[in-house]
Amino acid sequence: MTDVLIDTDGKVGRIRLNRPKAIHALTTAMCEAVVDALEAWRDDLAIEAVLIDHAEGRGFCAGGDIRMIAESGAGDGAAARAFFRAEYRMNHRLFTYAKPIAAFMDGITMGGGVGISQPARFRVATENTKLAMPETGIGLFPDVGGGWYLSRLPGRIGQYLALTGARLDGAECLALGLATHYCRAEALDDAKARIAGDPQAIEEILAEASSPAPDARILTHRDAIDRLFASDRLEDIYAALREDGGEWATQTLATLDTKSPQTMKVSLKLLLDGRTMPTFEDEMRQEFAVASHVVQRHDFIEGVRAVIVDKDNAPRWQPETPEDVTGHLIDQIFAPLPADQEWNP
């Protein structure tokens, strides 16, 4: 069985993630296979659009192969860097692809799944969608273009999502622009079949397949998020949440207390830089440098141990508090790589 199924259907190229036991988490080979398929279809006049979904199981894509990345990070980091290099090439190829791409985010869409779906011109959410960038909980940061996408969300919602790892449902994805369409899951097969027959009508087909979305719950907290997450300094956000003292602020503070202070600060800088990044290629080059440094640091290896390996959910972060994470440490993590090691598309 192959972990990603690649074929053609009528006038469309089909990419189907097929690692159901791992909720289709990405491996280096899967990322390379996607890039190869996109290259093969780039100049093929018979292929007019690309559809990305998952073959079976309960999620679109739960992220990357975190256990492998952590094992590599604990050693020389070479396999982890090879994974990020391949994954970010795939992200960039999707972002710059000339033919329309539709991604179907039916189910869990986290980390690497966000990186596959967000570059697509059409992003379809359903009643099953659970989208999140939960990386700060394992000492990582919202990569795969997170610095680009999250920094472009309304107000300070991107900063809130990056720090807390909050999960969004399909209606919330639509309201925030992370999805372009909201469809019932039962309508997807028919929509895909119609697109395969007439890719030029993809926009009309998805519009016809769409259903009214429920209210987006996150918007009820929009004012609080913009006010309490207004600063790009983590210490200021903590102070604002403490000062507010309301139920939502207190719950949010408790959530932040479980995350890595180091990678929360990394995330804030990533979004600050990402908002003015000239191109997506520049974004991915910076994220690769940051990822190369972060995967070999204590917090990532400890976070994976606590959440994924031992499952005690009691990570011991170093440094322990936001105040202990110095500007010098963040500068080291964001230091550019030597020219012969840096990422390129």
3-class DSSP state of 238: helix
pLDDT, tens digit (0-9, with 9 covering 90-100), for 260-297: 999 999 999 999 999 999 999 999 999 999 999 999 99
Q: Is the peptide bond before 20 cis (omega within 30 degrees of 0)?
A: no
Residues annotated as catalytic (active site), given as ranges: 64, 112, 135, 143
pLDDT at 44 over 70: yes
CA distance 77 to 95: 27
CA distance 4 to 58: 16
The mean per-residue pLDDT over the stretch 22-28 comes to 95
3-class DSSP state of 207: helix
Q: Where are the domains of the chain?
A: 4-135+150-209, 217-333
Angle at 225 between CA 223 and CA 226, to 5 degrees: 65
The mean per-residue pLDDT over the stretch 106-118 comes to 97
Q: For 62-151, list the strands marked E by DSSP.
A: 101-105, 108-110, 122-125, 130-132
Please name every residue paired with 9 in a beta bridge, in sequence order, or none if there are none.
Answer: 12
Q: Which CATH superfamily includes the segment(s) 4-135+150-209? A: 2-enoyl-CoA Hydratase; Chain A, domain 1 (3.90.226.10)
The answer to whether 145 touches 95, Cβ cutoff 8 Å, is: yes
Q: Which residue has the tokens 């189910």?
A: 107
Predicted local confidence at residue 143, as pLDDT? 97
Q: For residue 57, what pLDDT band results from cuts at 50, 70 and 90? A: confident
Predicted local confidence at residue 58, as pLDDT? 82
Mean model confidence pLDDT for the chain? 97
Q: φ, ψ for residue 307 (rounded to 5)?
A: -95, -35
Predicted local confidence at residue 1, as pLDDT? 60
CA distance 304 to 313: 9
Predicted local confidence at residue 272, as pLDDT? 98
Pick from 29, 50, 25, 28: which is nearest to 39 by CA? 50
The tokens describing 226, both together, are: 């913009």
Q: What percentage of the chain reaches a pLDDT higher than 90?
A: 97
Predicted local confidence at residue 77, as pLDDT? 92
pLDDT at 53 over 70: yes
3-class DSSP state of 186: helix
pLDDT, tens digit (0-9, with 9 covering 90-100), for 201-257: 999 999 999 999 999 999 999 999 999 999 999 999 999 999 999 999 999 999 999
Predicted local confidence at residue 56, as pLDDT? 85
pLDDT, tens digit (0-9, with 9 covering 90-100), for 241-263: 999 999 999 999 999 999 999 99
The tokens describing 186, both together, are: 């039962």
